[in-house]
Amino acid sequence: MVAKLKGQYGSGLEALSYLGQNYLVADRSLIPEILQILRDEEQFDYCVDVTAVHYPERPKQFEVFWILYSFERNERIRVKTGISDGESLPSSVGLWPTANWLEREVFDMFGIKFDGHPDLKRILLPDGWKGYPLRKDYGIIQQDNEWVQINLGIESGQ
Amino acid sequence: MSDATKYISHLELGERDETFLDSNELIINMGPQHPATHGVLRVILKLDGEKVLGTECVIGYLHRGVEKIAENRTYAMFNPYVDRMDYVAAVSNGLGYCEAVEKLLNVEAPPRAKYIRVILAELNRIASHQLWLGTHALDIGAMTPLFYTFRDREEILKIFEKYCGARLTTHAFRIGGCQYETYEGFERDVIKFVDFVTPKIDEYEELLTTNRIWVERTKDVGLISGKDCIALGVTGPVLRASGVKWDIRKAQPYAVYSEMDFEIPVGQNGDTYDRYLVRMAEMRQSLRIIRQAVGKIPEGPIMAKVPKVLKPPVGEIYHSIEAPKGELGYFIVSDGSTQPYRVRVRPPSFVNLQALDLMVRGALVADVIAVIGTLDIVLGEVDR
């Protein structure tokens, strides 16, 4: 599978393994095609998780992960790609409906936009909240003071 | 309806215009303070009389930022926090986290520790299913099972308390093994419990399985096919009740499940009744596993050699276990320091809750309660 994908995409795709877990590192531009192929041709029919990691010092600040599983092959694979702040990604809700809430959570926590998502809005935090808590520059006790004061009528939630 | 739009909530919360009074559509809020939502879950329902046209879940009332906390704690310090996610199955949370970090550190817990882990995790699965059964039945209107299940669950909590001093947020495991050796008479207590609870499960079944009201309220309610489950990422008993025979304990065994002899109960119809039967059968399988584990538990150390200060090498790991509610995964990124760079929890309740909309569309309001109950969500885990 890896050899086939590699032959097709060449340098934009790298297949690696760490501690026995396989993962693909792909260019942002290849993501829609690769996810489509993994689902349709390689039977990765279950999207376990979509998540992201923030690396503020890198030019491509965010790494976004798709963790996939195939019932047929009993195998997991991770796909990751790097994107810079403000760049968006194609939504995979069309491929795996479960990505709906998972992508909303990534948007909520990191501010990464997914194009084509049916209803991209905050999921765990209130709609009017400012800031993205899982970014590294967001302090652990930081909060949206304005929101807290207006909506809860208290000086601080801490 | 095309395949893609089927899974998306079609609730359009427009402005209340003048025609609102004339139309039969009604938008009501269920929760966040509602006894049948098992916590602070708010469901916005769009109704046509008694019929549900669409729903939208509003979650996050219990959000504590567990993943953010993890980045600011050492690996060992974060361990107690995971107990506070799915607080009715704290042992499973701890098991998943400890195993994930162990994988990242490339250490393995000693066999004795693994057996202790399996025994406690399976006890916890029974406790979780008992709590689910009691509250689910109560929601539907059967009050008696609640007293039965809570009475029996107490025995499990007593074992936990004797083992590690805590009843719910157990923090029973450490990275590399277990903190505590089993107490004197642990095996005897566990076997005594297994003998005690085996007939009790039949008792629950006697109360419900052929009870006409129970069958009426659960049969063909909240139907979901195996295909839809996979598309929506639904795991655990809900997936199995829809006929998909998949359990991580069998598919990708962890701890010592590969040495255990047990079966994966599956349902056929994917309705609330089948999910009930699957969970009942799972409790019996758990008892089987516990009995075997107690019989086979080896002597030896309970803690692997792990350094005092944990500094996993740079890298990422995803490890998941079969929690009582489904696939519980931990995705941990290490930057080589003492604190995890990122911990992502893949919570089963959160993902399973997404199926609510599909399961209740077209059903009656009363069925919404049944479906929330049958999904077995814990809001502490949904919101983290």
The burial class, CB within 10 Å (0-12 / 13-18 / 19+), for A158 is: exposed
Q: How does residue B185 score in pLDDT terms, banded at 50, 70 and 90? A: confident
ipTM of predicted assembly, 2 dp: 0.87
Model confidence at B278: pLDDT above 90 = yes
Give A45→chain B minimum CA distance, Å.
7
Q: What is the dihedral of CA B234, B240, B246, B249, to 10 degrees?
A: 100
Which of B12, B232, B381 to mutate to test binding with chain A, by most A CBs within 10 Å of its CB? B232
Residue of A nearest to B245 (CA): A71
B68–A140 CB contact, under 8 Å: yes
Residues of B with CB under 8 A from a CB of A: 4-9, 59-60, 63, 65, 67-69, 71-72, 103-104, 106, 230-234, 244, 246, 251-252, 315-318, 320, 327, 329, 331, 333, 341-342, 344, 346, 350-351, 354, 383-384
pLDDT digits (tens, 9 = 90+) for B262-273: 999 998 888 999
B104–A19 CB contact, under 8 Å: yes
| Residue B280: per-residue pLDDT | 92
Per the structure block, which two tokens stand in for B75? 């690996």
| Residue A75: per-residue pLDDT | 87
Q: How does residue B275 score in pLDDT terms, banded at 50, 70 and 90? A: very high
Radius of gyration of chain B (CA): 21
Alpha helical stretches, state H, chain B:
3-6, 66-71, 75-82, 90-105, 111-140, 144-164, 186-208, 212-218, 226-231, 237-241, 248-251, 272-296, 348-353, 356-360, 365-375, 379-383
**B70 close to B93: Cβ distance less than 8 angstroms:** no
Q: Which residue ranges does chain B devote to CATH 1.10.645.10?
A: 66-383
Which of B2, B11, B66, B68 to mutate to test binding with chain A, by most A CBs within 10 Å of its CB? B68
Average pLDDT of span B353-376: 88
Closest CA to B281 of B267, B300, B298, B297: B267
Could you tell me the pTM of the whole model?
0.86
CA distances, B328 to each of B293, B321, B325, B342 (Å)? 22, 5, 8, 16
pLDDT digits (tens, 9 = 90+) for A24-37: 888 888 888 888 88
Q: How does residue B8 score in pLDDT terms, banded at 50, 70 and 90? A: low
Please report, rounded to a whole number, the percentage of residues in chain A having pLDDT higher than 70.
Answer: 92
Q: How does residue B121 score in pLDDT terms, banded at 50, 70 and 90? A: very high
Residue of A nearest to B340 (CA): A53
Average pLDDT of span A135-148: 83
| Residue B12: per-residue pLDDT | 58
Model confidence at B17: pLDDT above 60 = no
Dihedral sign from CA coordinates of B98, B87, B384, A44 = positive
Q: Give the homologous superfamily in CATH for domain B66-383.
A: Cytochrome-c3 Hydrogenase, chain B (1.10.645.10)
Across the A:B interface, residue pairs with CB atoms under 8 Å apart total 101
Which of B342, B350, B351 to mutate to test binding with chain A, by most A CBs within 10 Å of its CB? B342
DSSP 8-class letter at B41? -
Element of type H or E holding A109: helix A99-110
DSSP 8-class letter at A11? G
Q: What is the DSSP string of B301-346?
A: -SB----SS--PPSEEEEEEEEETTEEEEEEEEE-SSSS-SEEEEE
Closest CA to B137 of B125, B124, B148: B148
Give A6→chain B minimum CA distance, Å.
22
The burial class, CB within 10 Å (0-12 / 13-18 / 19+), for A11 is: exposed
Residue of A nearest to B383 (CA): A124
Report d(CA B384, CA B380) in Å as an integer: 6
Q: How does residue B380 score in pLDDT terms, banded at 50, 70 and 90? A: confident
A100 close to B (CB below 8 A):
yes
Average pLDDT of span B198-214: 89
Residue of B nearest to A78 (CA): B318
